[in-house]
Amino acid sequence: MGYDTRQARQDLLDAVGDAIDDLARALAALGVAYEQLDEHHADELEEMLFGPVQSAYGRARRTHTEFATRHGLPARTFEAPVPGAPSTGAKGFVDEAVDAVHHADVTLATLQDSMLPIEVGDPELRAGLAGVRELVDGVRRNAKALTRTIGR
């Protein structure tokens, strides 16, 4: 394997790692929002937002680790981020989570559009990236529906 292929794989791995960091930020924000909501809204948040983002986070981490292992690259360790100030309220934390998920999705879409996953010849990685994006597809729409009812 030449330097270019190894570097391309490392760049790909780094980009996936950046998306994972964004998904972790979203989970942290959703966790704080959950704590600030009444039981009904907390259950809705868990079902509509936290569950899909948590699944996407897990899928992204698995994809990252398996790709690194397959190609002899070091897998990153991921730290749980500290959520922002509680003064933003539950809606603010949901908005923060949506922004983080959007950023992760844009990172993965850009990666897919770059053709880099095809160039390094890794169908499992391509499937993993597509799976992560499918899991977070409805997050923005679901967040809007949820935040319309918070505080009522």
Neighbours of 40 (CB within 10 A): 9
Question: Residue 102 has which token pair?
Answer: 């959007």
Which one has a higher pLDDT value, 119 or 83?
A: 119
pLDDT at 2: 45
Instruction: Give me the CATH number covering residue 26.
Output: 1.20.1260.10
d(CA 107, CA 14): 11
The predicted-structure confidence for 70-118, as pLDDT tens digits, reads as follows 999 998 888 878 776 666 789 999 999 999 999 999 999 999 888 788 7
| Residue from 74, 40, 70, 50 nearest 149 by CA | 40
Mean pLDDT of 117-136: 90
Instruction: For residues 113-129, give the mean pLDDT.
Output: 85
Q: pTM to 2 decimals? A: 0.92
Stretch 134-138: mean pLDDT? 96
Total number of domains in the chain = 1
Domain that holds residue 51: 3-149
Closest C-alpha among 122, 114, 126 to residue 71: 122
Please count the CA atoms within 13 angstroms of the CA of 59 that sit on its side-chain side.
20
Helix (H, G, I), strand (E, B) or coil at 38: coil
Confidence of residue 136 (pLDDT cuts 50, 70, 90): very high
Measured CA to CA, the distance from residue 98 to residue 30 in angstroms comes to 9
CA atoms within 13 A on the CB side of 11: 15
Q: What is the Cα–Cα distance from 67 to 81, expressed in whole angstroms?
A: 24
Cα 76 to Cα 90: distance, rounded to the nearest angstrom: 31
Give the pLDDT score at 86. 60
Query: pLDDT by residue (tens digit) across 34-54?
Result: 999 999 999 999 999 999 999
